Amino acid sequence: MSFNALASGCRFGQKHRDARQLFKFSSEDPAPTAYAAPVPTLDFFGDAPAAPADGGEAKEKAAASKRRRRRAAAEAEGSAGGGEEGEGEAEGGAWGGGMSEREVAEANALRKALRIHVYGSGVPPPVEGMRQLAERYRLAAWLVENAASAGYDELTRVQMQAVPLLLAGREVLACAPTGSGKTAAFVMPLLARLARPMRQGVRAVAISPTQELARQTHREIVKLGRGSRIGACVLTKKLAAAAIAAQGQGDVFRRYDVLVCTPLRLVSLLKRGAIALDGVRVLVLDEADKLLALGFLEQVDEILAACSSPDVQRCLFSATMMPSIEELSDTVLRQPVRVVVGEKNAAAEIIEQKLVFCGREDGKILALRQMVREGIKPPVLIFVQSKERAMQLFHELVFDGINVDVIHAERTPAQRDATVDKFRSGKVWVLIATELMARGMDFKGVSLVINFDFPQSTVSYIHRIGRTGRAGRPGRAVTFFTEADVEQLRAIANVMKASGCDVPPWMLKMKPLSKNKRRQRATKPISRKPIVKKRVREEASDAKGAPRKTQKRKPRQPD
């Protein structure tokens, strides 16, 4: 998809005319036929009202053809018998219906054809479309209608298996690539279980590691819950203060059925007795590997203890899942079913990944400028390892005439929200970010991710490049590395190979880092030379031939 199509309906000022040339963008370029209708905003987060669909009959035919191809592949694989070792063969169980041997074989063959690995017993078969899911589990009409308008007629692989499991009341640990639809995979069953508003306090809690990701989850809940009157809220600082002030006078959360929050803020309310979670029926840990790591683990334990209802259903979702976190999850879930889509701890296969050697730190800015000269299609995300480096790179690109902004942890929530909104609406073409934006944020329109600073771990790399290649759209990821980063190359090269990318054999043969050094690199990034060089503006010399004076040019601050 060209940026001309994405930016249709957006207005760009004359001051960015030079930047348009840098990005090989021309306002006279004709938009593709398929996107001839103007788009009011860049809907990276998918929370804008859906546009009326044209050619519905053609879409239905294409979807039917896709289903037939899946079934044909499954039948071809099904002649060999069941699924992979350790996969559950559903023979009835809690989901409410026995399965014949033929149905079990077909379900396992479909999983094998789609590379859906399931570990557990009593597993319901995967469901390919929303219509089939609605018929089998008698979903409410409003949920089916909202899912269809959001584009979930055909379910993604993680949704095909995780949604039936959660509707059957099972506890789930799901690991699927970034951009594969994990949020909708737990939001749909969550809303189906709540069914209708009760106005008796919080009945479902979704925990996220960052406030930005919490707000994104809330948008998905609102979108899929439209018309149900199920109340949902994000636990903001203002709402938390109101709950503390109202103690003994009434429950502020009584009108909310779903609470989306970060762990620290919720634990603070629990310790003050300002909220009760004994009525919670669904508990979701999004980006579970982050929440079960040191720093969040004690807070998550307190939340788990507070959700004391015997029928509470827990589920964990993440794009990466290390063995130690899997072992820890067994202490959180009861008889869980593990769902792994594709290769575990690998990036999406539709992302074209590339490594670029820059020699030393000075070579990175030269490589970036070369990419700009060759032409890159906005919107673009650039990741750096610290807020100081983010500001340094921001000032460099501002002087180059690029429409750029920066986001990091020290900016206020209002500033972060404003920056994300500008990026989504096309007012910012290049966004420089730290690890803050690497987890879960759904930028559907991002065509390119640049790792300006080498990621500190494979987990960080997978989540960073996962900001592109979302919802089935192809994307590109370019990672710069210097002589100081060479010893970490093998780990990233293995991720690229698992994702189907070509990797030089010498990278795979490198000596791996020791466990202690990997842990040290993950917690403490290497020291890097500053990006910014002194920029001066020469003034005309005086009549006596005095040396020219130099004056520093004051850089623009981010909006």
Structure confidence by residue, pLDDT tens digits, 457-516: 888 899 899 888 876 788 899 999 999 899 889 999 999 998 888 888 999 989 888 888
- The three-state secondary structure class of 212 is helix
pLDDT value, residue 157: 93
Structure confidence by residue, pLDDT tens digits, 395-438: 999 888 888 999 887 888 788 888 888 888 888 899 999 887 77
pLDDT value, residue 533: 55
Q: What is the dihedral of CA 20, 25, 30, 31, to 10 degrees?
A: -100
- What is the CB neighbour count within 10 angstroms for residue 169? 14
Q: Where are the beta strands (DSSP E) in 195-335?
A: 204-207, 232-234, 258-261, 282-286, 313-318
Quick one: pLDDT band at residue 541, thresholds 50, 70, 90?
very low
Count the helix, strand and coil residues of the chain and give each as a percent rounded to the nearest 5: 40, 15, 45
Quick one: pLDDT band at residue 200, thresholds 50, 70, 90?
confident
Q: Where are the beta strands (DSSP E) in 294-348?
A: 313-318, 337-341
The model scores a pTM over 0.75: no
Mean pLDDT for the stretch of residues 363-370:
92
Structure confidence by residue, pLDDT tens digits, 309-334: 999 999 999 988 888 888 888 888 99
Q: Where are the beta strands (DSSP E) in 304-453?
A: 313-318, 337-341, 351-357, 380-383, 404-407, 430-433, 448-451
- Cα Rg of the chain (Å, integer): 25
Give the CA distances from residue 163 to residues 7, 46, 190, 217, in Å, rounded to whole numbers and listed in that order. Answer: 34, 20, 9, 16
The whole-angstrom separation of Cα 275 and Cα 302 is: 13
- CB-based contacts of 343: which residues, under 8 Å, 6+ apart? 498, 499
The whole-angstrom separation of Cα 97 and Cα 168 is: 10
Quick one: pLDDT band at residue 217, thresholds 50, 70, 90?
very high
Half-sphere exposure of 239 (CA within 13 A, CB side): 17
- CB-based contacts of 109: which residues, under 8 Å, 6+ apart? 74, 75, 76, 77, 78, 80, 83
